[in-house]
Amino acid sequence: MNAHKPNEHGSISGFVVTLTMTFVACAGLALDGGRMLAVRTQLADSAENAARAGAQEVTSLRSGSPKLNIFAATQTAEEYLSRFEISGVVNADSNQVTVTANSEVQMTLLGLFGVNKKEISVTRTAQPFTNP
């Protein structure tokens, strides 16, 4: 005789669905999180290189007190970002160049949970350096 309890029909299905969704969410965090870290690393590298390029636009070297050519430093850093098709903002004064690079990462698996895109922004600063 088969002792079958009617109130347990489908109880394993709910568990499997919950477990599957948990695995998909974890895979989404690993995949999309890894992509976000990779984009952040690339942005940080690009922002730092753009700031360094701008910080090379130095004037007054012979006086022993180097200052940045603000216009040239800004233009050089902006050209660097443009060359690599990176969205960003450049600010310069007579002592330093600051570059903020921005990017938007489209989510793959996390889109299933309502997270469609993530904005990433990185700021780096460079100053001219002279040997004593």
The more confident residue out of 84 and 24 is 84
10 Å Cβ neighbour count for 38?
11
Range of lowest pLDDT (35-49, 57-71, 77-91): 57-71
Round to whole Å and give the CA distance between 51 and 59. Answer: 16
Whether residue 86 has pLDDT greater than 70: yes
Q: How large is the average pLDDT for residues 70-91?
A: 95
Tell me the whole-structure pTM to 2 decimals: 0.74
Looking at residue 105, its amino acid is V
Round to whole Å and give the CA distance between 32 and 109. Answer: 7
Give which of 63, 64, 44, 36 is closest to 126, Cα–Cα: 44
Round to whole Å and give the CA distance between 16 and 113. Answer: 18
Q: Which pLDDT does position 93 carry in this prediction?
A: 93
- Domains of the chain, by residue range, sit at 12-126
10 Å Cβ neighbour count for 23?
10
Task: Provide the pLDDT confidence category of residue 10 given band limits of 50, 70 and 90.
Answer: low
